Amino acid sequence: MKMYTVAVLGATGAVGQEMIKILEERNFPVGKLVPLASARSAGKTLRFKGEDVTIGLACDEAFEGVDIVLGAAENDIAKQFAPAIVKAGAVFVDNSSAFRLDPDVPLIVPEVNAQDVKNHKGIISNPNCSTIITVTAVNALNAIAPIKAMTASTYQAVSGAGAGGPVELMSEVEALSAGSTYEPKIFPYQIAYNLIPQIGGEQTDGYTSEEMKLQNEGRKIMHLPEMKVTCTCVRVPVVRSHSISVSLHFDVPVTVEQARQAIANAPGCKLVDDLSKKQYPMPLDTTDQDLVFVGRIRPDLTDDCGISLWCCGDQVRKGAATNCVQIAELLI
């Protein structure tokens, strides 16, 4: 088996660490791991396959001899190093939003549009976490009848804001339990016992940048340029795994049984749908695994050609790190 030199840009962050964990879990043929980070972390070590690996400094020269770069850094870092990565002959699988809507950059969810990988020119984008979870859940229904429109509300865990999100939630819970206060640093308001209906900055017509990602990215991934999407993104006091309420609108009726059967057979999905037995997707059940759980499948009572459902998925794994590694697997 051919072995590959794999770099992880942003190796010390939550997603970078998860990428390294998943490379090992899935037995990706890593001949050499090149973890890269800022000067603050360079020189430290991390564990991979039972050995200590030294973290290198992220710089243009670091990509020489690398086959695949998994990007777990912010947009500015991705843009800074993308030219050097491509020049070095590596393929950059980037988790940031820097290149997602670039027409020359494939945006990939392997269960949905794996064939688009072949169109890359050295850079492949990993979609937004909520987009990945949602399109994985609904793609099987799109195969029954093209999705005309989608209404979605996301319930996004605090870990989606980075490693500081869960720390802030727990700190607030502890402070409130002790009768004291805690000044929010990660979120604009207290997240403990609260919901915050804004993720990202205002972008257009009162929608946030996070909300527009689901429309723009979903269209590109599913090859549905005319699909209309309205989305509300909400931060909730859940540690890990995002949940999404989705109503889909088709040109022809799709029955609940058709939908259940399609999702039960869909790659990357697990049907969890028995309301009478209180069986439905929940964040605790979907954490630290890679399937998107789908349930609460029912008719949309506002549309004779509509179906509503509820889905949950681990946004650190399938919503970020695992999807990146799956793209790398497509490359080899």
Whether 249 sits among the annotated catalytic residues: the reply is no
Burial of 42 (0-12, 13-18, 19+ CB in 10 A): middle
Nearest in space to 245 (alpha carbons), one of 258, 230, 225: 230
Q: What are phi and psi of 316, to 5 degrees?
A: -80, -35
In angstroms and rounded to an integer, the radius of gyration of the C-alpha atoms of the chain is 20
* Cβ atoms within 10 Å of 323's Cβ, excluding its own: 26
Is 242 part of the annotated catalytic residue set?
A: yes
Rounded-to-integer distance, Cα 39 and Cα 220, Å: 36
Residue 324 to residues 141, 161, 188, 196, 290: CA-CA distances in angstroms? 24, 18, 30, 28, 12
232-252 burial: b if 16+ Cβ within 10 Å, else e:
bbebbbbebbbbbebbbbbee
How do beta strands 306-313 and 292-299 pair? Answer: antiparallel
**Smallest Cα–Cα separation from 257: which of 271, 244, 245?**
271
Query: 105, 139, 102, 110: which is closest to 124 by C-alpha?
Result: 105
Q: Encoding tokens for residue 115?
A: 């064939």
Selecting among 120, 231, 233, 242, the annotated active-site residue is 242
Sign of the C-alpha dihedral computed for residues 288, 96, 156 and 215 taken in this order: negative
**Which member of 129, 269, 311, 324 is catalytic?**
129
| Alpha helices, DSSP H, located in 127-255 | 129-144, 164-177, 209-222
Q: Are 68 and 324 in contact (CB under 8 A)?
A: no
Of 312, 310, 309, nearest to 249 by C-alpha is 309
Q: Which residues are catalytic?
A: 129, 242
